[in-house]
Amino acid sequence: MIEQWIYDKLKKDIGVKRFNHSIGVMNTSMKLAKYYDYPIEKAKIAGLLHDCGKLQGEINLLKMAYDFDIILDNVMKVNKELIHSPLGAEIAKKEYNVEDEDILNAIRFHTTGRENMGLLEKIVYIADLIEPGRDFPGVEKIRELAYEDMDKSLLFAINNTLKFIIQKGNLIHLDTIKARNQLIILKNME
């Protein structure tokens, strides 16, 4: 059971628009958890807090990462949009009293993915992309696959995201490449 103060603090910290997105991710995470027979309460917390590192205002993410002793790789130093995930895991731990490593990892890797993702990590990664407020090329296919085969949905989503990142000329995080490669290896072993 998530206490009211968590909702209030989150809305204040990340703003109404991002909070509404987080509610959508929470609800979608819960639906996916139910579908894949995963503990719904863990999915609820991870979905709600996945963006708790996207703080409002002119926050110096590099300084906050340093203050939380987060070691950033070169990709995150250049693409500061990725910092909110590891920062969010630390904020969830220190400010929202989350101790569950599955929940913390789901928050930590919801933007990049990683090799050997746990089911909750996959659920939150996909829920972040398919919550009802999302609308981008390929989202309907990801939504469809999410309730057929989580790994196929994840691979399609990562491929879609990689195309977008390449078109923008941005750096690709190594964790994303490792996640994709592992999914392809597993697919080929079937």
Please calculate the CA angle 7-13-15 and round it to the nearest 5 degrees.
Answer: 85
Distance CA 49, CA 25 (A): 9
Contact 63, 103 (CB under 8 A): no
Averages of pLDDT over each 10 residues, the chain, 190 residues: 95 96 98 98 98 83 88 91 95 97 98 97 98 96 98 97 95 97 91
Q: What is the pTM of this model?
A: 0.96
Half-sphere exposure of 2 (CA within 13 A, CB side): 22
Domains identified in the chain, total number: 1
Residue with tokens 């491929």: 159
Q: How crowded is residue 15: how many other Cβ atoms within 10 Å of its Cβ?
A: 15
Residue 90 in 3-state DSSP? helix
Two tokens, residue 143: 């939504």
For residue 120, give its domain range. Answer: 4-189
pLDDT value of position 58? 65
H-state helical runs in the chain: 4-14, 16-35, 40-49, 61-67, 74-78, 84-95, 101-108, 119-130, 139-146, 150-168, 174-189
Residues whose CB is less than 8 angstroms from the CB of residue 104 and which lie 6 or more positions away in sequence, other chains included? 89, 92, 93, 98
pLDDT value of position 53? 95
Residue 81 in 3-state DSSP? helix
Distance CA 116, CA 88 (A): 20
Q: What CATH number has the domain bearing residue 145?
A: 1.10.3210.10
Residue 3 burial (C-beta neighbours within 10 Å; 0-12, 13-18, 19+): exposed
